[in-house]
Amino acid sequence: MKVLMVCLGNICRSPLSEGILKHKAQLDGLNWEVNSAGTGNYHIGEPPHLLSQKVALAHGIDISQHKAQQFTAQDMLIYNLIYVMDADNYKAVEQISKKMFNPAKTKLIMNELFPHTNTEVPDPWFGTEKDFIKVYQMLDAATDSIIQKYRSTNTIIKNTHE
């Protein structure tokens, strides 16, 4: 199973969700590859936001080695599931992917916890530590749902362009 988490800059929400899901998958003994990317190119090569790192570390998850990267159309072929943080991320993934876009594998992450609500994970970029904690809590709950949903099944979404 290969999972990609996507936000705008790949320094706040998506590296946090990557770290959380990777940590939980390892604890469960799941052979999952979990990565993250941003739809924008603003922070390529940079580490996660210091508050994302701080909040993750407070929960025993070290994301400090992550380096921001940009989502590419090729990612649509590589990953089984692509989780986006908000509607703008979804639209950007669709635009970047063009003909390779696969809506069956591209999902708003909070829909795993609250199906069909299209709840968005707010970008904490300009916020305080409390905002980063709230984002962590949302992603922690959503990743629990992802683990539960895919742990006991071999459900993998294939790319229709293979």
Please say whether the beta carbons of 41 and 98 come within 8 A: no
Question: Is 144 labeled as catalytic in the residue annotation?
Answer: no
In whole angstroms, what is the distance from residue 70 CA to residue 43 CA? 9
Indicate which residue of 12, 13, 75, 86 is catalytic: 13
User: To the nearest 10°, the Cα dihedral for 145, 150, 153, 158?
Assistant: 140
Closest residue by Cα to residue 139 from 87, 94, 84, 88: 84
Among the options 7, 12, 75, 86, which is catalytic? 7
Catalytic residue among 12, 75, 86, 123: 123
Say whether 123 is catalytic: yes
Active site members = 7, 13, 123
